[in-house]
């Protein structure tokens, strides 16, 4: 039995299958996931688990080289933007419209649904490599 880190078998399986440059999304409770994209649904109830809880767990298990977020986060959720930038310092950031982010989500390898109920806590992460290049 795995005893540390992510214990959700579905989520850790998707993470383990990531290759360099693969993308995946972590989203809020209402973020639409395009048909055909596998969903790891972690929501228990409103606010549980939070975006930050899921992001912290995922980042402990995953090499990330870049991310894409919605421009709207600057105005509607600046506190979360600070958190994201601190957690992903040194990685490439791209900001696009929320509409474009939803369109981009059709290309992700999988999506993780959290219980987050705040505005624009949606991110597409690009896998890096776990060794120096």
The residues assigned a catalytic role are 20
The span from the CA of 34 to the CA of 54, in Å, is 21
The span from the CA of 39 to the CA of 11, in Å, is 9
Burial class (CB in 10 A: 0-12, 13-18, 19+), 22: middle
């Amino acid at each position: 039995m795995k005893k540390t880190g992510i214990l959700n078998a579905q989520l850790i399986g998707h993470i383990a299958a990531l290759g360099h440059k693969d993308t995946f999304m972590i989203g809020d409770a209402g973020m639409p996931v395009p048909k055909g994209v596998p969903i790891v649904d972690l929501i228990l109830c409103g606010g549980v688990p939070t975006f930050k809880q899921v992001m912290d767990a995922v980042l402990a298990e995953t090499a990330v080289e870049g991310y894409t977020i919605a421009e709207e986060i600057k105005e509607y959720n600046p506190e979360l933007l600070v958190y994201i930038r601190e957690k992903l310092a040194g990685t490439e950031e791209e900001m696009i419209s929320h509409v474009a982010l939803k369109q981009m989500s059709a290309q992700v390898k999988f999506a993780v649904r959290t219980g987050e109920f705040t505005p624009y806590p949606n991110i597409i992460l690009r896998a890096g490599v776990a060794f120096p290049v």
